[in-house]
Structures are given as structure tokens and as C-alpha cells.
């Protein structure tokens, strides 16, 4: 990337994942500085995005997790401002963030994902008709980092769980609980004419199988194994499903797909993240390093793909 470019690392923002986003943004910014890129930190919580124009920003690295940053909002604004950015565009960001819609799309193309129901606010569901979904996981439809996730062992526990989860949004996903091994597979697309490729798979082994916010970011008892000891056909299934999910949602540049596998049958997709974490504990850098891609090089490769999706506006 030439020196005339000025890069803004978007971080922080408004979501409940703000603190993680700040860590991701700092790590990315430091990597760019080490690569002699003219980069600045930019937190849209405190500054309107129109100031990107005032600062003559020519590229944006999106490190905003969760609401506003990962749901298509900021992507739409950057398209309007005509500033090329990293990661998926407006539509695919919005689809991936909407867990329910993403799961419907995955199922429609034959990708496996645990059974689910949609809940809105205090809406009642017919428990007798849906008894097989329990035990289940109740989660907000549009949050990440395992925030607001509650396990519901039996139908009578649903209301108590709902009262906790509703704090993160009216729309909730009730997903059948699958007990098994957890894996994640990052996908990189280095150039829009290039085919997306999977990075080495990471197995996540959390204390008591509970990969919650604390065990992701605050505790030190979660183990990560890359590559995991699993049969070759399971590796191929995860890699192929990851790339297919990436393409099906229309993603670009990079993403991370999370799986559960009960060691019977095929691994099942839990969700796809279009702005994965980039902290020192994050899984995409861990996988990339196994492929010989150092953190700073990974950041630069993603930045070099910064682009706009739509072509029909006049330039500034």
C-alpha cells in the first residue's frame, strides 16, 4: 500500500462488544504502524463518520464488533461516503448478524445447523409442539461474543431465561442445544477475483464446555488446539461448509465460522462472524499463524483488500 493512503481503524462504537472492539482496534492499529502505514484510531461513539472525509481518510479497517459495526450500518455509511473498507458489505453483514435469517439461508442450501425457533418479546410458543428442542440455548438474535446467552434445560425454565436475554433485544433465537466439540474455521479471500480459502481449524475447549464471554476474553482456562485431532472427513466437512457459508451470504475479505460436532454425523454451523476478533486471544490470528501468516502481515493483507461494493455513484 502506497504512503499517500491514510487509514482509519474503526473501533469501539456503541455495542455491548465495545471493550473487545477497542482491543481489536488497538492491535490492528499497532500492526499497521509497524508496517509504516499512516493509520489513525477512530471511535464513532465520539465522532461522526463524516469526519473521515474531513481527515482525508482513503481506507477504513472495520474493527467494530456487534451492533452498528457488524450489522451493515457502518458499511452502508462508508459506501455512501465512498471510502473503501475491509470486510463484508452492507447486505451480507446484515444477514450474518441476523442469526435467524442466516440459519434459514444455511438450511436452504443444505448446510447443517441446529434446529431452532424464533421468539419475539413476550410472545408465547406452543411448548407441547416444540418439546424436542429442549435442552436449548436462548440467545439474542443480533449480538456476538456470547453475550446474553442462556441455557434452557426444560420448558419451565424458558421464561426466566427470556427475562435475562430480552435485555439484549426483543428478537431471540431458541436453538437446540448440541453437546459436542466446538470448532472455528476462518476464511480468507485475498482479492475479489480470488477464491475464498479456509485457514487451519481451531478447536475450542472451554471449562465445563461453557465458551461464554468470560471464558472467551477474561479467563485463562479455555484451551485452543490448532489443528485439532479429528478425522480427515470432518476437517474437509468443516472447511467446505465454511467456504460455502461465506459464499452463500455473499461475504468478502475475511470471516470466521463457528461449529459444533457431537462426533456423530456432520459438524453443524452455529454462526458466521464477519468482523472476527483481532485481540491477542483471537482465533483468526491463531489460525493464520499456523499457515505461516504473521499477525502484522494478516492485518496488511486484509487492509489491502479494502474496497467498495457498489460502483454506480460518482466519485467525490
pLDDT value, residue 209: 58
pLDDT value, residue 122: 75
pLDDT value, residue 3: 60
* Catalytic annotation, pick one of 12, 13, 16, 17: 17
* Catalytic annotation, pick one of 79, 98, 258, 309: 258
Q: What is the DSSP letter of 78?
A: H
* Catalytic annotation, pick one of 88, 241, 273, 282: 273
In CATH, what is the architecture of 116-176?
A: 2-Layer Sandwich (3.30)
- Residue 273 near residue 258 (C-beta atoms within 8 A): yes
Q: Is 80 a catalytic residue?
A: no
CATH number of 94-112+179-303: 3.30.470.20
Higher pLDDT, 244 or 164: 244
Interior angle at CA 195, CA 194 and CA 196, nearest 5: 115
**Summary mean pLDDT of the chain:** 90
Q: Is 258 a catalytic residue?
A: yes
CATH number of 7-87: 3.40.50.20
Q: Where are the domains of the chain?
A: 7-87, 94-112+179-303, 116-176
* Catalytic annotation, pick one of 12, 25, 72, 277: 277
| Rounded Cα–Cα distance for residues 90 and 87 (Å) | 10
Condensed to tens digits (0 to 9), the pLDDT of residues 45-100 reads 999 999 999 999 999 999 999 989 999 999 999 999 999 999 999 999 999 999 99
Q: Is 256 a catalytic residue?
A: yes
Sign of CA dihedral 235, 229, 281, 171: positive
Single out the residue of 202, 250, 201, 308 nearest to residue 96, CA to CA. Answer: 250
CA distances from 60 to 77, 179, 217 (A): 12, 39, 25
Q: Is 271 a catalytic residue?
A: yes
* Catalytic annotation, pick one of 15, 16, 21, 145: 145
CA distances from 174 to 77, 78, 161, 177, 237 (A): 32, 33, 11, 9, 25
- Poorest-pLDDT segment among 89-98, 175-184, 218-227, 250-259: 218-227
Range 310-316 average pLDDT: 56
pLDDT value, residue 206: 84
Q: Is 25 a catalytic residue?
A: no
* Catalytic annotation, pick one of 182, 256, 268, 309: 256
DSSP 107-128: HHTT-----EEEEETT----TG
Q: HSE on the CB side for 116, CA within 13 Å?
A: 26
* Catalytic annotation, pick one of 271, 282, 296, 305: 271
Amino acid at each position: 500500500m502506497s504512503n499517500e493512503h491514510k487509514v482509519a481503524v474503526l473501533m469501539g462504537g456503541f455495542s455491548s462488544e465495545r471493550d473487545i472492539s477497542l482491543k481489536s482496534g488497538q492491535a490492528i492499529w499497532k500492526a499497521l504502524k509497524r508496517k509504516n502505514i499512516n493509520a489513525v484510531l477512530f471511535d464513532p461513539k465520539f465522532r461522526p463518520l463524516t469526519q473521515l472525509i474531513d481527515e482525508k481518510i482513503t481506507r477504513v479497517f472495520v474493527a467494530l464488533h456487534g451492533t452498528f459495526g457488524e450489522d451493515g450500518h457502518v458499511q452502508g455509511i462508508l459506501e455512501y461516503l465512498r471510502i473503501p473498507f475491509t470486510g463484508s458489505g452492507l447486505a451480507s453483514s446484515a444477514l450474518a448478524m441476523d442469526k435467524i435469517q442466516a440459519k434459514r439461508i444455511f438450511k436452504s442450501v443444505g448446510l447443517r445447523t441446529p434446529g431452532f425457533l424464533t421468539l419475539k418479546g413476550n410472545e408465547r410458543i406452543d411448548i407441547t409442539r416444540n418439546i424436542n428442542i429442549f435442552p436449548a440455548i436462548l440467545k439474542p438474535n443480533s449480538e456476538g461474543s456470547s453475550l446474553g446467552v442462556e441455557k434452557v434445560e426444560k420448558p419451565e425454565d424458558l421464561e426466566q431465561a427470556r427475562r435475562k436475554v430480552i435485555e439484549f433485544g426483543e428478537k431471540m433465537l431458541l436453538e437446540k442445544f448440541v453437546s459436542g466439540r466446538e470448532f472455528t474455521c476462518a476464511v480468507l479471500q485475498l482479492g475479489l477475483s480470488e477464491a475464498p480459502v479456509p485457514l487451519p481449524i481451531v478447536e475450542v475447549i472451554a471449562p465445563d464446555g461453557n465458551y461464554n464471554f468470560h471464558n472467551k476474553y477474561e479467563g485463562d482456562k479455555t484451551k485452543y488446539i490448532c489443528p485439532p485431532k479429528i478425522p480427515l472427513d470432518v476437517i474437509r466437512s468443516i472447511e467446505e461448509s465454511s467456504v460455502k457459508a461465506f459464499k452463500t451470504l455473499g461475504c468478502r475479505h475475511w470471516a470466521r465460522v463457528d461449529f459444533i460436532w457431537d462426533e456423530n454425523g456432520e459438524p453443524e454451523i452455529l454462526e458466521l462472524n464477519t468482523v472476527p476478533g483481532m485481540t491477542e486471544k483471537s482465533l483468526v490470528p491463531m489460525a493464520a499463524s499456523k499457515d505461516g501468516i504473521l499477525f502484522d502481515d494478516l492485518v496488511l493483507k486484509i487492509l489491502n483488500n479494502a474496497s467498495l461494493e457498489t460502483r454506480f455513484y460518482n466519485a467525490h
